[in-house]
């Protein structure tokens, strides 16, 4: 299928807070007999900056691993020696798998219909564009600025998944529900929860933008709008 991706969602029954996701990730990596770079994005020559193909997050507040393309293959390393006893921070936890959801998903641009998405814990602003954003005086200017970053984030995602888009990608932010500070590795960022429309069909639960591998920038299609 043209522009299709392989997607596997591993959802656990155990609930996590956002701050516990990093410990969940660490427990998964420690359990691996061989630590493929896709699990942690650190190679011998430094960081792997490509789009993350294994993403750790919460789905309905429960621990989950979202695997894409090559990530659906290397996740077999995790299951080959799977033991349910994890250390989440300082707490021993018996991790119970809820379900495995393997799918082939098509990512395609739409001709007329704009798809509606909810985007949570999105981190669009780095040190440079954070200053630019706060220098913008009007709400409309800020929304336009965020829309350009949103387009760039989605294009980075499609490029990382080897998806070719033939038409211009259009994103329109419809509503910003909240913005709030989050801290990652001691650095504070501004996170956004918002709703937007775009002329592209995207898979639920994939991440976009900064820290997409760590419970940030999570997409979910809004049905019936």
Go through the domains of the chain in sequence order and give each one's CATH number. 4-105 (3.30.70), 107-221 (3.30.70)
* Segments of the chain with pLDDT less than 50: 1, 225
Q: What's this model's pTM, rounded to 2 decimal places? A: 0.92
Q: Is 165 exposed, middle or buried (0-12, 13-18, 19+ CB in 10 A)?
A: middle
Q: What is the pLDDT of residues 123-165, one digit of tens each?
A: 999 888 999 999 999 999 999 999 999 999 999 999 999 998 9
State the pLDDT at residue 1: 41
CA 39 to chain centroid, in Å, comes to 14
pLDDT tens digit sequence for 163-178: 989 899 999 999 999 9
């Amino acid at each position: 299928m043209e522009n299709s991706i392989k997607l596997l969602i591993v959802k656990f029954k155990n609930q996590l807070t956002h701050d516990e996701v990093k410990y969940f990730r660490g427990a998964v990596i420690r359990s691996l007999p061989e630590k493929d770079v896709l699990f942690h994005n650190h190679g011998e020559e430094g960081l792997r900056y490509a789009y993350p193909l294994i993403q750790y997050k919460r789905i309905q507040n429960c621990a989950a691993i979202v695997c894409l393309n090559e990530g659906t293959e290397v996740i077999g390393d995790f299951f080959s020696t799977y033991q349910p006893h994890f250390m989440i921070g300082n707490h021993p936890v018996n991790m119970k798998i809820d379900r495995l959801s393997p799918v082939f998903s098509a990512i395609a641009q739409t001709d007329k219909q704009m798809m509606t998405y909810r985007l949570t814990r999105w981190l669009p602003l780095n040190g440079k564009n954070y200053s630019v954003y706060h220098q913008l005086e009007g709400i409309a200017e800020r929304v336009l600025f965020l829309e350009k970053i949103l387009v760039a984030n989605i294009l980075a995602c499609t490029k990382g998944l080897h998806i070719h888009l033939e038409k211009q990608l259009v994103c329109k932010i419809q509503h910003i529900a909240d913005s709030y500070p989050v801290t990652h590795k001691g650095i504070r960022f501004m996170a956004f929860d918002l709703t937007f429309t775009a002329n592209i069909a995207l898979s639920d639960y994939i991440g976009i933008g900064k820290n997409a591998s760590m419970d940030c920038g999570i997409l979910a299609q809004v049905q019936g709008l």
